[in-house]
């Protein structure tokens, strides 16, 4: 079994209203790759660097802040 097939996203999707992200997390998407997708909105990519280090998801309103 491939390593990626063994990994299952287990974090609840869109459970918080504010997320701190790092440059290593880019490109940024909501929901984050670690979040379960079965109960979330479609994945949308956010241009956090072009938006001055903060971005808001148009679907769920989650606020992302680039901390490094």
Domain ranges for the chain: 16-66
Residue 27 is predicted with a pLDDT of 97
How many helices (H) and strands (E) in the chain? 1, 5
Residue partners of 62: CB distance under 8 A and separation at least 6: 14, 16, 17, 18, 19, 30, 56
Percent of the chain topping pLDDT 90: 60
pLDDT at 2 over 60: no
Residue 8 is predicted with a pLDDT of 55
Residue 40 is predicted with a pLDDT of 85
Determine if the pTM surpasses 0.85.
Answer: no
Taking the alpha carbons at both ends of the chain, their separation in whole angstroms is 35
């Amino acid at each position: 079994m491939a390593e990626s097939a063994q990994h299952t996203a287990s974090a609840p999707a869109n459970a918080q209203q504010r997320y701190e992200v790092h440059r290593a997390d880019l490109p940024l998407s909501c929901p984050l790759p670690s979040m379960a997708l079965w109960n979330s909105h479609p994945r949308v990519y956010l241009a956090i660097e072009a938006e001055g280090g903060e971005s808001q998801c148009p679907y769920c309103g989650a606020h992302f802040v680039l901390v490094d």
